[in-house]
Amino acid sequence: MLPTRHSSRVRLAIMVLGAVCLCGAAKAQSAYQPSPENLTARREFQDMKFGMFIHWGVYSVLGDGEWVFHERHLSVDQYNRLPAFFDPQKFDAHTWVSLAKSAGMKYITITSRHHDGFAMFDSQVSDWNIVARTPYKKDPLKMLADECHRQGIKLFFYYSQLDWHNPDYYPRGSTNWPNGRPDHGDWNAYLNTYMNGQLTELLTHYGTIGGIWFDGMWDKPDADWQLEKTYALIHKLQPAALIIPNHHQTPKPGEDVQTFERDLPGQNTAGFNTKYVSAELPLEMSDTLNNSWGFNIGDSHYKSAAEVVRRLVRAAGNNSNLLMNIGPYPNGEIDPEFVSRLDAVGKWLSRYGDSIYGTRGGPIPPGDWGVTTQKADKVYVHVLHWGAPLLALSPVTGKVTAAESLNDGKKVDVTQSVNGLVIKLPPATSDETDRVIVLTVEKTS
Ligand code: H79
């Protein structure tokens, strides 16, 4: 109710204004209607389940991760010396894409430019790029895109909105340090000429791409990023391209996937992810095979293949993809420690992939014991951590008409009651990775 002291004319004006405001807000929320091809791409993205994240840039030369510019508080002039040492003569797109494929990965997301702003592709927007500044002089993203198209792997470009190099990234954000840039810059030029210019290149020179994976907006969460404009540009150039923002916030209009950095959706063990989990958008979690993103010569904390499988399974059980990172050497080779583990994961997937690819999170809530996934009339019970012979689970809708071990097809005893399911598990092997029990569930209507 409006206070009575307003005249009827004022009341009318307030009502009209209110209606306009509400409409405006509703319009901003609903302005983005994903195209049919975008919705298909989202479903296909969810079906893929497992991707390869690649952090590779001139920082790789120093073997100290992708934040080395910031960590060592180098000046722009000092960092400018780095591209001269980047000459990846051993880079072979076929080898990289084949590795992703043999690991059972269905997509690749590669750093087209990280926070150092250095474009790992041929860019006309600025000469701060691999073709203009390195002895290599070639565009590896072009070779990778062509090879991905040949081998049927989707390619996504990681793109850092944060830039430690360009003076127009101004005002600077929370990660800034005095590195020799002037204390002024043209933010609009940064967004519209530089960033949107490079995004246009990425979306027009490399054939069909999977989408853009944004990172770094958290550096200036309150800045006017003019996201609607950038997102509209991407969807105009390639309507099916997915926008995957790693801004650690609730999804915004125009975004197609919610991604979580080194965390299962909603868990926020990292401390900077949001706990909000979209019920509508595809989900993804990123992780690394050791503890670094870019090549780090001092990091030998490699996860075992079994551990990677368990993370993939936990992601799938949480209705999420897993984007698993490697940081190749500056010469273009991939550390054999990564290769051997990825090959082993691929072997596991060639046997158990039915319980992962094309699935969605299952009907039984995840727990310490494991997770479930589901596809058509199958529910896959993934037992990751359970020593006892009987496993009691909460009820599922529908009648369980068959149960077998995915490993050897042997029948498994399941008792179903209103209280739930009790599964008599086959014994665990000493090197248990994941015991998968396949339930056939007949829908009762
Ligand atoms: O590309 C990889 C990393 O280099 C990048 N994202 C992955 C995929 C990354 N940058 N930072 N982080 C990951 C960690 C995030 C730290 C943050 Fe913060 C904590 C962001 C916001 C709070 C530190 C403090 C940076 C800004 C404020």
Confidence of residue 28 (pLDDT cuts 50, 70, 90): very low
218 CA → ligand 1 middle, Å = 8
At residue 161, does pLDDT exceed 50? Answer: yes
Distance, CA of 433 to CA of 370 (rounded, Å) = 11
Phi first, then psi: give them for residue 107, nearest 5 degrees. Answer: -150, 160
Predicted pLDDT at 428: 85
pLDDT (0 to 100) of residue 8: 44
Q: Which has the closest alpha carbon to 423: 434, 415, 431, 433?
A: 415
**Closest to 209 in 3D by CA, of 242, 176, 184, 187:** 242
pLDDT at 144: 98
pLDDT in tens, 343-359: 999 999 999 999 999 99
Burial 317-341 (b: 16+ CB within 10 A, else e): bbbbbbbbbbbbbbebbbbeebbeb
Q: What is the mean pLDDT of the chain?
A: 93
- Alpha-carbon Rg of the chain, whole angstroms? 25
In single-letter form, the type of residue at position 107 comes to Y
118, pLDDT greater than 80: yes
* Cβ pair 245, 274 in contact under 8 A: no
Q: How far apart are CA 72 and CA 407, in angstroms?
A: 50
Longest dimension (CA), the chain: 81
Residue 207 Rama label (left phi>0; alpha psi -120 to 50; beta):
left
- Looking at residue 443, what is its pLDDT? 86
- Region 205-227: mean pLDDT is 98
Best residue among 157, 261, 324 to mutate for probing ligand 1's pocket (most ligand atoms within 8 Å of CB) is 261
pLDDT digit string (tens) for 219-234?
Answer: 999 999 999 999 999 9
CA of 71 to the centre of ligand 1 (A): 12
Question: Ligand 1 centroid to 258 CA: how many Å?
Answer: 16
**pTM given for the model:** 0.93
Burial of 132 (C-beta count, 10 Å sphere; 0-12/13-18/19+): middle
Residue 218 CB less than 6 A away from ligand 1: yes
The whole-angstrom separation of Cα 242 and Cα 396 is: 33
What mean pLDDT do residues 56-75 have? Answer: 98
188 pLDDT above the threshold of 60: yes
CA 386 to chain centre: 30
Distance 229 CA to ligand 1 centre (A): 24
The first and second tokens of residue 214, run together, are 């944004």
- Report pLDDT for 444: 78
pLDDT value at position 10? 39
Higher-confidence position of 8 and 347: 347
pLDDT mean over 273-290: 96
In percent, the amount of the chain with pLDDT more than 90 equals 91
443 Cβ contact partners less than 8 Å away, ≥ 6 residues apart: 377, 397, 398
Q: Which two tokens stand for residue 87?
A: 């000459």
CB-based contact 375:416 (threshold 8 Å): no
Q: What spacing in Å lies between the alpha carbon of 79 and ligand 1's midpoint?
A: 20
First to last CA, the chain: 47
Contacts of 367 (CB under 8 A, 6+ apart): none
| 4: pLDDT strictly greater than 60 | no
> Using one digit for the tens of pLDDT, what is the confidence trace for 322-331?
999 999 999 9
Q: Give the Cα separation of 263 and 271 in Å (integer).
A: 10
Residue 224: count other Cβ atoms within 10 Å of its Cβ.
9
Structure tokens at 356: 């992962």
Give the pLDDT mean for 168-181.
98
* Atom of ligand 1 at shortest range from CA of 215: 6
Ligand 1: residue of 66, 112, 157, 218 to mutate (most ligand atoms within 8 A of CB) is 218
The pLDDT value given to residue 445:
66
Provide mean pLDDT across the span 255-263: 97
DSSP 8-state secondary structure symbol assigned to residue 293: S
Residue 29 has pLDDT above 90, yes or no: no
Q: What is the mean pLDDT of residues 394-399?
A: 96
Ligand 1 centre from 261 Cα, in Å? 9
How many helical (H) and strand (E) elements, i.e. helices and strands, does the chain have?
A: 12, 16
CA 47/CA 148 separation, integer angstroms: 18
Q: Write the single-letter amino acid at 353.
A: G
* CA-based nearest residue to 327, from 319, 338, 317: 338
Q: Is 215 in the pocket of ligand 1 (CB under 6 A)?
A: yes
| Choice among 11-20, 37-46, 129-138 with the minimum mean pLDDT | 11-20
Write the residue with the smallest CA distance to atom 6 of ligand 1. 215
> Is pLDDT of 13 > 80?
no
Residue 155 near residue 209, CB atoms below 8 Å: yes
- Nearest-angstrom CA–CA distance, 253 and 132: 36
Residues for the chain: how many in total? 445
* C-alpha dihedral, 382 to 386 to 388 to 394, nearest 10°: -60
Contact 366, 314 (CB under 8 A): yes
The residue whose CA is least distant from atom 22 of ligand 1 is 272
